[in-house]
Chains A and B, each alone.
Chain A
């Protein structure tokens, strides 16, 4: 199970990073969301995987490590706040700069007609 878990974490990380390296803000946001899934899973796994041992006293024989869980719980919420911030920043950048490229300017590509300001109106 641990191997599979690690594989999933690795894959999520790779997908997240690939998307975070894209040029358009929405892809970057999606990538960051994937990356934050991976990070949360990764942090959670630092308490090791356990079945049927929720950290609720009296509910099970043994308890999983509650500390990473508490950390990840806040990380998830903060992660949402940060995603929201990036999203709004991306929108603001589009509103002010007229495009949604992370660099603020569109890369020069001859013969590309779709890249005018305002997207696909």
Chain B
């Protein structure tokens, strides 16, 4: 169980090893790098006995179980088969790369990428959670990008890597969507749950979407037609990478995915049609293209595409035996293709060329390598006594049992045989063109045998080819059986791994393929001539131009959507908000709820009419700015009346005072802004905005109505019950503000202070235009401070301060409190500014408003900290009752100190904004008037 968790993470740890040991000799680095994967392989193999008995191992570390996110691993037959391939071939590639890479290449970096990729692949095959599987899936795309672009100085390497990443990454996104839908359909992201609920998934309405999305992921990764073009371009990678990624691992991840979800998704007509047809087409197209490649690796890449198509076709056939054949071919293909890539790499490395038109007659120069390559390509061609022959035989058998295309079903075996013919032909070409066929032409180096140990991996793989081919049951019997069991999520069917099944139709097909392939190769000159008639089309160019087209389109889209107009952005944001809210309202069945409505009365209707008409008047007259301001004041007044009416006296008081402050602020601003708004919206824009606004209003009104007519289950009973006993006040709203939710209020006054300071900074050094006449062109009055206003305002000040103090003190028990008292005080002071001017005030009020804000927030915080002194939590309040002669019994509460902080902050912030705004003009104004 615990060792299972280590399986993928040992290689992850191993990514550090090559980086740390790169300064040692290359051999040492290679050996140290190989240590952890080797250990992992041993760990996997240590589970083999139990797995062969049909056991399955799971290991889960819960992370966010509520949304199905766990770190979950599983080891079953299929996972083990892939883990062995990944680790085993990975180890051979490490050895091979030691000799392949030149001294110029940073071997530490290469190994680190390789092991990272190994980690990602192990993660994919061992994952027991859909999201986790996807994560590792994308990690394989990214790490393969690093590997393919290892020779980043080559254009083709960069382009090939980018293409591979684009195609597989896009497929990965489709896969994510598919897995999310799949997980939601099943109700669990656990892989085992998904596999066990195949019938549920297939019955679900989402099934077609899931299948298409998951298969998109698999097909892009496995280079299935029409996404096959990235694989040949990824051949720009160093050959060890090709041998690893494009034989055994990366491209097999797509196959693995199909095999993994086989019990959950397969066995329907849809699956059959998509998978088998895609596989068949890929099989033929890949084989055909492979024959005409001149590049050694290009031939192998296209043959890989073809073989992947073959496996896909098997997985799409819908019979259990076909699935077994698919698994078997996965093993065989991985082995012979890895050895072939390595052999191709040796040829490239020791002769300096990969062009089969120049490579000829290498048999004389490297007979040993030639023998190995010939055995491996014989396996690729499906020659008896090789492992490739066995699985191809099984494949032919299965094609004969297909009835899914109805009376056209005979097409499948015929086309399969045709594919076999091509496979023999290109294998023949690989052998004959390279090792025989005359003398080498213009090679950069004289070819010779590679270093002794560079050949070892090829030797091992070719030996396995032969071993599996001759003693199949002994070699892979148990592993294949366990993997087939795991793939089918049930018992595998009976099958026989014998070499000789008697003289039957599949054998005839094999013979036809062999003879046909040899004949085709012999007459290849005609075929090449025929093929030359087609205009050469490079998928790389098509892909690049497609990408460029996409870039241009998205640039055009961005230029359209992000044109720098805030007006447009606001429209987009609001339109999106409409769509989001409307869609959820559509699900609400009735607008009105159960709660009885309050009956209407004439006074309320009058007020509502006033509100609506004033709001509309504000809109209609918004270009006459002063008038709009007046109608806006009416709206504000009615809103505060509404608060009073519906039992919120505190809100009414706050709204009233804020209303006045806002009006003063807007008048101040209006002086510096144009008095009238020009008419500039086109009728189309007005209609557009009107419809959006009405839609939005309608939605908000609907939500509001639906909300109000439904019964309320509020948490507020806690507050009303504990207000007196816990907070010492009867005004629950105030107690909530200064006590229960005091921390929120502290945050809010801080925001208020920050906003005021920000405004202060914005006002500083602002150069403003000041009109010298009013909107109608009349000059301003000469009387700066009318006597009447001065006298009334001055007498208002003490009165207002008294009211303010009264509202502040009683706030804890009756409507009022620091917010309202602060606003009232600021309004009273501002009235003095209006009546007497800044200079007059300056000599009388000497304190700094910024310090006032600071001390306000400070006092509020300290009152909270004070409770720490008495061993209570932050902001918990204290209160008691006292008795004084004359005044009588009164209450003192620490919350009032907090409220004092609120009061000071509100006064400071409001005054900082308004007084500074007013002050700003004072120094400028006289110069303006002198010009008049």
Interface residues of A (CB under 8 A from B): 1-15, 17-27, 29-31, 33-34, 37-38, 40-42, 44-60, 63-67, 69-70, 72-74, 76-85, 87-92, 94-95, 100, 102-104, 107, 109, 112, 114-115, 118-121
Contacts and interface: CB of A to CB of B under 8 A. Distances in A.
B386 to A, nearest CB: 73
A13 B859 CA distance: 38
A107 B643 CA distance: 41
A94 B636 CA distance: 27
B179 interface: no
B771 interface: yes
A23 B567 contact: yes
B58 to A, nearest CB: 47
Given A44-B646, A69-B733, A118-B769, A4 B625 contact: no
16 contacts: A7-B608, A14-B694, A14-B697, A18-B690, A21-B574, A27-B677, A34-B632, A41-B639, A55-B731, A57-B731, A63-B732, A70-B741, A72-B648, A84-B665, A91-B762, A109-B680
Interface string B607-633: 010011001101100110100110010
Contacts of A51: 598, 645-647
Contact of A77 (B730, B752, B767, B775): B752
Interface string B815-833: 1000100010000000000
Given A14-B697, A114-B678, A120-B675, A1 B598 contact: yes
A91 B689 contact: no
Contacts of B666: 29-30, 33, 87
Contacts of B615: 11-12, 15, 34
A9 to B, nearest CB: 5
Contacts of B655: 40, 76
Contact of A91 (B619, B672, B697, B745): B672
Contact of A21 (B689, B698, B702, B767): B689
Contacts of B674: 24, 26, 100, 119-120
A28 B689 CA distance: 13
B677 A34 contact: no
Interface in B685-729: 689-690, 692-694, 696-698, 700-705, 707-709, 712, 714-716, 719-720, 723-724
B763 interface: yes
B715 A80 contact: no
A85 B758 contact: yes
Contacts of B704: 5-6, 9-10, 41-42, 45
Nearest to B653: A73
B597 interface: yes
B733 A73 contact: yes
A2 B705 contact: yes
Contact of A102 (B566, B628, B650, B755): B566
Residue of B600, B665, B674, B756 with most chain A CB atoms under a 10 A cut-off: B674
Nearest to A39: B700
Contacts, number: 333
B815 A22 contact: no
Given A42-B704, A67-B716, A120-B674, A54 B648 contact: yes
B737 interface: yes
Contacts of B618: 15, 19, 30, 34
B865 to A, nearest CB: 21
A107 B680 contact: yes
A74 B677 contact: no
B696 A13 contact: yes
A63 B623 CA distance: 43
B707 A45 contact: yes
B541 interface: no
Contacts of A12: 611, 615, 635, 697
A13 to B, nearest CB: 4
A56 B647 CA distance: 10
A81 B649 CA distance: 22
A58 B909 CA distance: 34
Given A38-B700, A49-B708, A102-B566, A56 B672 contact: no
User: Helix, strand, loop or mixed for chain B's interface?
Assistant: helix
A26 B680 contact: no
B552 interface: no
Nearest to B814: A56
B742 to A, nearest CB: 11
Contact of A120 (B616, B669, B697, B771): B771
B680 A48 contact: no
A25 B673 contact: yes
A18 B570 CA distance: 11
B463 interface: no
A114 B674 CA distance: 11
B850 interface: no
A9 B700 contact: yes
Contacts of A27: 622-623, 628, 677
B772 interface: yes
A41 to B, nearest CB: 6
A4 to B, nearest CB: 5
Given A55-B720, A120-B775, A66 B732 contact: yes
Contacts of A50: 646-647
B274 interface: no
A76 B819 CA distance: 10
A108 B680 CA distance: 10
B653 to A, nearest CB: 9
Nearest to B620: A15
Contacts of B635: 12, 34, 37
Nearest to B676: A120
B901 to A, nearest CB: 14
Given A12-B615, A26-B670, 5 more contacts: A5-B705, A11-B615, A80-B662, A91-B669, A95-B672
A64 B719 CA distance: 11
A113 to B, nearest CB: 10
Contacts of B689: 17-18, 21-22
A52 B623 CA distance: 40
B701 A6 contact: yes
A19 B622 contact: yes
B281 interface: no
A6 B459 CA distance: 82
A68 B670 CA distance: 33
Contacts of B604: 1, 4
Residue of A48, A78, A81, A92 with most chain B CB atoms under a 10 A cut-off: A81
Contacts of B819: 73-74, 77
A44 B651 contact: yes
Contacts of A53: 647
Contacts of A13: 693, 696-697, 700-701
Nearest to B819: A77
A18 B619 contact: yes
B46 interface: no
B515 to A, nearest CB: 77
B173 interface: no
Given A13-B697, A56-B815, A73 B654 contact: yes
A49 B769 contact: no
A116 to B, nearest CB: 11
Given A77-B654, A92-B766, A26 B748 contact: no
B751 A2 contact: no
A111 B451 CA distance: 84
Contacts of A107: 680
A6 B698 CA distance: 9
Contacts of B658: 76-77, 79-80
Contact of A14 (B677, B696, B752, B815): B696
Given A53-B647, A103-B565, A85 B755 contact: yes
Given A17-B693, A19-B622, A21-B574, A48 B595 contact: yes
A50 to B, nearest CB: 5
B698 to A, nearest CB: 6
Interface in B150-185: none
Nearest to B689: A21
B661 interface: yes
B564 interface: yes
